[in-house]
């Protein structure tokens, strides 16, 4: 699946994603539940991957 986004859309999405990533990392640092921690780790990995892809889009679009 693909979606066309303007550069300002990508910047906004990256900003929202960065905020969420920060929240997930904070939650990860404060949880003791193993299953929830594993879920948060998986979320963090996926969010970091998406963040990198958005950063690359912004860098390549100048």
Domain presence at residue 39: yes
Domain presence at residue 44: yes
Task: Report how many domains make up the chain.
Answer: 1
Q: What is the mean pLDDT of each run of 10 residues along the chain (62 residues)?
A: 94 97 96 97 97 95 77
Rounded Cα–Cα distance for residues 56 and 58 (Å): 5
Domain presence at residue 7: no
Q: Render the burial of 13-42: b for 16+ CB within 10 Å, e for the rest.
A: ebeebeeebeebeeeeeeeeeeeeeeebee
**Can you give the residue range of the structural domain that contains 51?**
32-57
pLDDT value of position 61: 84
Q: What is the pTM of this model?
A: 0.85
């Amino acid at each position: 699946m693909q979606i066309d986004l303007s550069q300002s859309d990508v910047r906004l999405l990256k900003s929202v994603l960065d905020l969420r990533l920060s929240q997930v990392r904070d939650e990860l640092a404060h949880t003791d539940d193993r299953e929830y921690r594993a879920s948060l780790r998986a979320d963090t990995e996926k969010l970091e991957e998406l963040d990198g892809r958005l950063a690359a889009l912004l860098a390549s679009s100048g």
